Structure 1
Amino acid sequence: MIRWSVLAAGALVALGVATVSPVAAQSVNRNLIDQLNLQLIYVALPLTLFVEVILVYAVIRFRNNDDPEPTAENPTLEVTWTVATAIVLVFVGWSAYNVLASPYISPTPEVEAAPPDVEPDAEIDVLAYQWGWQFDYAAANVTTQNLLVLPRDEDARLRLRSDEVLHSLYVPELGLKQDVFPGQNTTILTRALENGRYRGYCTEFCGDGHARMRAQVYVVDPETYRQWLAAHEDERLVTAPPNASVGNATGAANATAATSRFSSPA
Structure 2
Amino acid sequence: MRGKRLAPVLVVVVGFLAAFVDPVAASGYQSITEQYIRDLNNMMLAAALPITLLVEGILIYTVWKFRNSDEAKPTKENRRLEITWTVATAVVLLFVGVAAYGVMGQSAVTATGQDAQAAMAEEDSVTVTAEGVQWYWNFEYADENLSTTTSAGGDGVVGDQPLVLPADTKVVIRTESSDVIHAFHAPDLGLKADALPGQQNYIITDELDEGTYQLYCAEFCGVGHSQMLADIEVVDRDTYEDYVEDPENTSV
Question: What's the TM-score, normalizing by structure 2?
Answer: 0.83
Instruction: Give, in whole Å, the separation in 2 of the partners of 1:231 and 1:122.
Output: 17
Q: Give runs of aligned pairs for residues 199-210 of structure 1, distance below 5 A.
A: 199-210=214-225
Deviations 1:117-160 (A, max 9, x none): 78550011111101100111132111122221111111111111
Assess, with a 3 A threshold, how the Cα gap between structure 1 residues 101 and 18 changes in structure 2: closer, same or farther: closer
Aligned to 2:245: 230
Question: 3-state SS of the aligned residue for 1:218?
Answer: strand
Q: Give runs of aligned pairs for residues 34-183 of structure 1, distance below 5 A.
A: 34-109=38-113, 112=114, 114=116, 116=118, 119-120=121-122, 121-146=125-150, 147-183=162-198
Amino acid in structure 2 at the alignment position of 1:37: N
Amino acid in structure 2 at the alignment position of 1:48: T
The answer to whether the Cα contact below 8 Å between 1:5 and 1:53 also exists between their aligned partners in 2 is no
Deviations 1:207-237 (A, max 9, x none): 11112111110111222211222224xxxxx
The alpha-carbon deviation at position 74 of structure 1 amounts to 2.4
Aligned to 2:155: none
Instruction: Give, in whole Å, the separation in 2 of the partners of 1:77 and 1:8.
Output: 20
Instruction: Give, in whole Å, the separation in 2 of the partners of 1:55 and 1:113.
Output: 48
Aligned to 1:250: none
Deviations 1:150-184 (A, max 9, x none): 11111111111101011011101000111111111
Assess, with a 3 A threshold, how the Cα gap between structure 1 residues 90 and 117 changes in structure 2: closer, same or farther: farther
The alpha-carbon deviation at position 205 of structure 1 amounts to 1.4
Consecutive unaligned residues in structure 1, runs of 5 or more: 233-237, 245-266
Assess, with a 3 A threshold, how the Cα gap between structure 1 residues 116 and 125 changes in structure 2: closer, same or farther: closer
The alpha-carbon deviation at position 115 of structure 1 amounts to 6.5
Deviations 1:86-125 (A, max 9, x none): 111111000000111111111425xx45364785500111
Matched-pair identity in %: 39
Amino acid in structure 2 at the alignment position of 1:148: L
Residue 17 (structure 2) aligned to one of 13, 16, 20? 13
The alpha-carbon deviation at position 30 of structure 1 amounts to 0.7
Instruction: Give, in whole Å, the separation in 1 of the partners of 2:51 and 2:94.
Output: 15
Deviations 1:9-47 (A, max 9, x none): 549936982444465210011111101101111111111
Instruction: Give, in whole Å, the separation in 2 of the partners of 1:188 and 1:92.
Output: 24
The answer to whether the Cα contact below 8 Å between 1:9 and 1:49 also exists between their aligned partners in 2 is no
Assess, with a 3 A threshold, how the Cα gap between structure 1 residues 130 and 174 changes in structure 2: closer, same or farther: same
Instruction: Give, in whole Å, the separation in 2 of the partners of 1:60 and 1:129.
Output: 61
Question: What's the TM-score, normalizing by structure 1?
Answer: 0.79
Consecutive unaligned residues in structure 2, runs of 5 or more: 151-161
The answer to whether the Cα contact below 8 Å between 2:11 and 2:54 also exists between their aligned partners in 1 is no
Amino acid in structure 1 at the alignment position of 2:53: L
Assess, with a 3 A threshold, how the Cα gap between structure 1 residues 6 and 118 changes in structure 2: closer, same or farther: farther
